[in-house]
Amino acid sequence: MPGMEFFGAEERKEVLDVLETGALFRYNHEEMRHGKWKARELEAEVRKFTGAKFAHAVSNGSAAVLAALAAAGVGHGHEVIVPPFTFMATIEAVLYAGGLPVFAEIDENLCLSVEGIRKAITPKTKAVLLVHMCGAAADMDGITALCKEKNLILVEDAGQALGAFYKGKSVGLFGTSGSFSLDFFKIATAGEGGLLITNDEQTYKDADCYSDHGHSHVGDARGMEPHPVLGFNFRISELHAAVGLAQMRKINMILKAKKANQNYLKEKLSVVKGLTFRPVPDPEGDSGTFLNFFLPTTELAGKAMAEFGKSGVAGCNYWFTNMYHFINQWDHVKGLKSSAPLAIHDLGAPQDYNNLQLPKSQNVVGRLISLGIRATWTKEQMDELVVKMITAIQKVMNS
Ligand SMILES: Cc1ncc(COP(=O)(O)O)c(C=O)c1O
């Protein structure tokens, strides 16, 4: 959300730069550019911010997940452990890569748990596609140790977690590679855009080729470039990269404001008896994108959301009934309804998706409410919001 709150002169200037040269394509055409390479500059900003050795910008965060899987060698027939609580792009990416999603339990940190992953491992498990949900990191000590022990590839979908760190290290740098989204709702937006980061040069090269029809990007004659692998068109345009570049330059300011607002609201809400917060393993590294809290039961959380509606509390997400983020609503995934056959139709689903037993995830997401944090809120606005929230929550808790 906050990226769009800061759209201004800087974004316009970067876009105008591109429009003045007319070089809308991110590769080649050196003679037109007058030294302006927005996608490259965006990648440099991302490297600086995350500390990654390599960063690669693509057309969107969904494409970045697919590129990350491809570059990790995850594909046809591979079982990939995924969470039931994520944006559905995570699951679509596994399916379109030819993989077989295996759903495992999350815990109150809203991400796959070590225990959940361990229980879902079979002899066919190739990888874990870990999602850092709602702006903060998963339990990386436990998960990286388990992946090492079981010899599993770790790929990180950090679509919602640009700006999240775990013990000082950016999410996306714990596995083979990690992906971010720069869509309109994220901490930094390009309108549409995605990023892949990695510390491994070969992974970077593979992702770079994969996202541009296999082009090696070596030399200056595009038509004559070698194509080490097959790929597809997931290129970001220079116009989108220009917006993303201006936004990346603001990200530290946005992070600081969001975290301050998250802390302020957390302190205020902590007076409510029975309300608990997401136990983030590294609170320092939380990007402050959401304030995630739990009510004692699913019923109470649902009632609180209804009460928020009546009292004009905006900005709270109840993912349990949200179409995009929780498995209960994913009938098309469970029914494997695709317009054309996928590998999973031939190979068979590794689980009975219509009868999955994920009681822990059901309980966690049922009780969860996530307040999206705005960076531009004033203290007065937050005070007004929190009073309304507390009144509504206490009303349902006391009823
Ligand atoms: C966890 C996660 N992965 C992937 C994506 C896909 O990103 P995009 O919308 O840029 O395709 C999102 C988008 O919200 C997301 O939340």
| Ligand 1 close to Cβ of residue 3 (< 6 A) | no
**Distance from Cα 60 to the centre of ligand 1, integer Å:** 8
Confidence bin at 219 (pLDDT 50/70/90)? confident
**Distance from Cα 62 to the centre of ligand 1, integer Å:** 6
| Ligand 1 close to Cβ of residue 175 (< 6 A) | no
Q: Among the residues of the chain, which ranges form H helices? A: 2-5, 9-21, 30-33, 38-50, 61-71, 89-96, 114-120, 140-150, 201-210, 238-248, 251-269, 298-311, 331-334, 343-347, 359-367, 379-398
| Ligand 1 close to Cβ of residue 289 (< 6 A) | no
305-319 pLDDT, tens digit each: 999 999 999 999 999
105-159 pLDDT, tens digit each: 999 999 999 999 999 999 999 999 999 999 999 999 999 999 999 999 999 999 9
At residue 1, the pLDDT reads: 59
The β-bridge partners of 170 are 165
Quote the DSSP letter at residue 131: E
| Ligand 1 close to Cβ of residue 181 (< 6 A) | yes
Mean pLDDT, residues 8-21: 97
Mean pLDDT, residues 53-64: 98
Mean pLDDT, residues 228-252: 97
**Distance from Cα 10 to the centre of ligand 1, integer Å:** 25
Mean pLDDT for all residues in the chain: 97
Question: In the chain, what are the domain boundaries?
Answer: 2-251, 253-398
At residue 12, the pLDDT reads: 98
Class of domain 2-251 as given by CATH:
alpha beta
Mean pLDDT, residues 172-182: 98
Judge whether residue 355 has pLDDT over 70. Answer: yes
162 near 186, Cβ under 8 Å? yes
Mean pLDDT, residues 346-372: 98
| Ligand 1 close to Cβ of residue 89 (< 6 A) | yes
Looking at domain 253-398, which of 3.30.70.360, 3.40.190.10, 3.40.47.10, 3.90.1150.10 is its CATH number? 3.90.1150.10
Cα torsion 180, 321, 305, 390 to 10°: value is: -50
At residue 3, the pLDDT reads: 81
Identified catalytic residue from 13, 119, 169, 186:
186
- Helix H or strand E encompassing 165: strand 165-166
Atom of ligand 1 nearest to the CA of 182: 10
Mutation choice for ligand 1 from 179, 181, 184, 289, CB with most ligand atoms inside 8 A:
181
Judge whether residue 223 has pLDDT over 90. Answer: no
327 near 356, Cβ under 8 Å? yes
At residue 323, the pLDDT reads: 82
Judge whether residue 175 has pLDDT over 90. Answer: yes
Tokens for 398, please give them.
Answer: 């006391």
358 near 327, Cβ under 8 Å? yes
249-287 pLDDT, tens digit each: 999 999 999 999 999 999 999 999 999 999 999 999 999
Reduced to 3 states, what is the DSSP secondary structure of residue 55? strand
Judge whether residue 2 has pLDDT over 80. Answer: no
| Structural Rg of the chain based on CA atoms | 21
**Distance from Cα 221 to the centre of ligand 1, integer Å:** 34
Mean pLDDT, residues 212-230: 91
Of all protein residues, the one whose alpha carbon is nearest to atom 8 of ligand 1 is: 61
| Ligand 1 close to Cβ of residue 66 (< 6 A) | no
CA 187 to centroid of chain Cα atoms:
11
Is 250 labeled as catalytic in the residue annotation? no
Question: Distance (Å, rounded) from C-alpha 143 to C-alpha 154?
Answer: 9
Confidence bin at 96 (pLDDT 50/70/90)? very high
Range with the lowest mean pLDDT among 100-109, 216-225, 376-385? 216-225
At residue 180, the pLDDT reads: 98
| AA identity, residue 122 | T
Atom of ligand 1 nearest to the CA of 183: 10
**Distance from Cα 63 to the centre of ligand 1, integer Å:** 9
| Ligand 1 close to Cβ of residue 197 (< 6 A) | no
Of 335, 328, 323, 330, nearest to 358 by C-alpha is 328
At residue 221, the pLDDT reads: 87
Of 182, 226, 231, nearest to 71 by C-alpha is 231
Of all protein residues, the one whose alpha carbon is nearest to atom 7 of ligand 1 is: 61
Judge whether residue 340 has pLDDT over 90. Answer: yes
Range with the lowest mean pLDDT among 32-41, 215-224, 371-380? 215-224
CA 162 to centroid of chain Cα atoms:
7
